[in-house]
Amino acid sequence: MLVFLLLLAVLAPIAWFISEFFPTLGIRITLGVLALVGVFFLGELNSAVRGMGERSYFADANEALIDAVIDTLDEGKHDEVARELKVLRRSYRPTYETHSNHAELVAEFQKAVEGVNDLPR
């Protein structure tokens, strides 16, 4: 299916351009519609693939965050988790243009919590 869409998006505009030099109106219209549909679907495919990448970025970071919180809470260090989560909240700046530095902030949280875990009670 992907190969078909790529061929449609590349070959249909070329065929449409070539058909403009011939008098058959039906073929020109058909190729024009195919070219536009192919380019539209290629754009939608690109958007879907990029969306999957963004979702996996946040999913991985959130999984690491949840694991670190659960592990530290299981050790009974509730105050430390609360303190580090407040630091994380102050540092987090959500944005819609980029995915900010979510994974880096989660990694810093993990390091801080691991450092707390190494301290004696």
Stated pTM of the model: 0.54
Q: Assess whether pLDDT exceeds 80 at residue 71.
A: yes
Would you state the pLDDT for residue 42?
82
39: CB partners within 8 A, 6+ apart:
9, 13
- Domain span including residue 21: 2-118
Going by the DSSP 8-state scheme, the letter that residue 22 receives in this structure is: S
Q: What is the mean pLDDT of the chain?
A: 82
How many other CB atoms are found less than 10 A from the CB of residue 67?
12
Does residue 92 come out as left (phi exceeding 0), alpha (psi in the -120 to 50 range) or beta?
A: beta
Would you state the pLDDT for residue 26?
92
Would you state the pLDDT for residue 18?
92
The total domain count for the chain is: 1
R_g of the chain, CA atoms, integer Å: 26
Separation of alpha carbons 49 and 1, rounded Å? 15
Average confidence (pLDDT) over 8-27: 88
